[in-house]
Amino acid sequence: MEITFNRIVRASRAKQALAKRAVEVASAISGIQSPRVEFFEMVAPTRAPDVIVTEVPALGFYTRSAVFVRNDLGNSQTIKTCFHETSHASQQVTARRTLRVLSDNASEREARLFCLEHLSGLRHDASEKEAIVFLDRLEKRFKQQLRERCAALVKQANQRFIAMNRIKAVNGVEYR
């Protein structure tokens, strides 16, 4: 166990926008409200009140209803870290709602699998523009899959409603 000290810093606007976008997409996929995004850098040990202490060096962490991401990461690693930590946020929401708490190993495994499932096509040396395009495509694909699932559910509900209310369709026009 190596204790590290981390101080919140202000990232560039481009990095803030990329991380916020990644968290928004990951939150939509997870079905949770987007947590806020903060950036940090590791600092020398200190007793300053604005320092966040972690038990191990980290690329990111989720605490205080916020995703914290290390400021010196590349574009693809920033996105992966945001997805990973948003997965932990989703786990916490699930735990609050269902009282189903995962072990640390299971929690980390689930977060890694979430990243692998959704970010396997992201190049590790992606430029900012490529990263944004990737997130846009991912979001578009997710929304399309959601629409398809919802369409099937709506069709099923409509059929149930028609059967319950004895509605008959004649040449596209409905009569009671």
User: Across the beta sheet with 4-9, what order do the strands follow?
Assistant: 51-54, 4-9, 36-43, 66-70, 60-63
Total-model pTM: 0.84
Give the 3-state secondary structure of the chain.
CCCEEEEEECCCHHHHHHHHHHHHHHHHHHCCCCCEEEEEEEECCCCCCCEEEECCCCCEEEECCEEEEECCCCHHHHHHHHHHHHHHHHHHHHHHHHCCCCCHHHHHHHHHHHHHHHHCCCCCCCCHHHHHHHHHHHHHHHHHHHHHHHHHHHHHHHHHHHHHCCCEEECCEEEC
The domain spans of the chain are 4-143
pLDDT given for residue 162 in this prediction = 81
- Could you give the CA distance from residue 110 to residue 94 in angstroms, rounded to a whole number? 13
**pLDDT over 80 (residue 9):** yes
Write the pLDDT tens digit of every residue in 80-139: 999 999 999 999 999 999 998 889 899 999 999 999 999 999 999 999 999 999 999 999
pLDDT confidence bin for 169, thresholds 50/70/90: low
pLDDT given for residue 159 in this prediction = 84
**pLDDT over 80 (residue 167):** no
DSSP-assigned beta bridge partners for residue 37:
67
Class of 4-143 in CATH: mainly alpha
| Mean pLDDT score, 48-64 | 91
**pLDDT over 90 (residue 2):** no
pLDDT given for residue 175 in this prediction = 54
Instruction: Tell me the percentage of the chain whose pLDDT exceeds 70.
Output: 95
pLDDT given for residue 151 in this prediction = 87
